[in-house]
Amino acid sequence: MPLKTITDKEGIYFLTSTVVDWVDVFTRPIYRYIIIDSLKHCINEKGLELYAWVIMSNHIHLVAASKAGFNLSDTMRDFKKYTSKKITTAILTENESRKEWMMNRFEYAGKNDVKIKNYKFWQDGNEAKPIYSFEFLKQKIDYIHNNPVKSEIVEYAEQYKFSSAIDYAGGKGLLKTLLAW
C-alpha cells in the first residue's frame, strides 16, 4: 500500500509519525522534550502551523499546515531527520536501561535502507490525511486529544501535558497552537 503523502502545499493535514517497531521511546520526558523543542523550531523558523498535537509513547499526531512560502512536506522531512539523530544520540548518551534493545531495533530497521547511515528511528511517511471539512477537522482534533484518555494516562484530555488539549480548554500548552474553533 503506498504511503499517504502531503500533496497540497496549502492544505491542512492530519499527520501521524510512528517510531519503527512501535518502540515506546516517548515514555521518558527527555525524548518528549526533544520533540517539543523541534516542533517549536519548526513553528518559529519553518512556517509550521499547528492546530492540534499529541505525543504518545511511540507516535505523534499533528493537525498542521504551513505558512505561505513554506512546504509542510519539507518541514516534516527535516523534523523527522533532526529528531531521529537527536533522540538516538540521547538514547546512547543518557542513562537508558533499554539502550541496547532500542538501538538494535533502530539499527536493524535501517540496515536495508540506502538512505539510512546508522539508525532508522521513524517509520517512512507521515500518514498524511488532508482535512477536507470542518467535521473531519473536529473529529481528528478530538481523536488527538482523547488519545491519552483512551490510553488511561489521564482522566481528562486537558490534564495531559504533551498535547494541545489544554489550549482548547482555555489554558496555555507547551507549543503555540492555532485554535480551530
Q: For the chain, give every domain's residue range.
A: 13-168
pLDDT digits (tens, 9 = 90+) for 90-148: 999 999 999 999 999 999 999 888 788 889 999 998 899 999 999 999 999 999 999 99
**Among 3.40.50.300, 3.30.70.1290, 3.30.70.520, 3.30.365.10, what is the CATH number of 13-168?**
3.30.70.1290
In the DSSP assignment, the letter for residue 151 is: T
Sign of CA dihedral 34, 98, 150, 61: positive
Decide if 42 contacts 150 (C-beta within 8 A).
no
What residues contact residue 156 under an 8 Å CB cut-off, 6+ apart? Answer: 149
Residue with cell string 481528562: 156
Decide if 12 contacts 137 (C-beta within 8 A).
yes
- Which strands form 48-55's sheet, in the order they lie side by side? 48-55, 59-66, 13-18, 129-130
- Alpha helices (H) in the chain, listed in sequence order: 29-45, 72-93, 99-110, 134-150, 165-168
Task: Residue 68: name the closest of 82, 86, 48, 85 by CA.
Answer: 48
Task: Residue 16: name the closest of 8, 27, 30, 5 by CA.
Answer: 5
Whether 1 shows a pLDDT value over 70: the answer reads no
**Per-residue pLDDT, 152:** 97
pLDDT digits (tens, 9 = 90+) for 28-75: 999 999 999 999 999 999 999 999 999 999 999 999 999 999 999 999
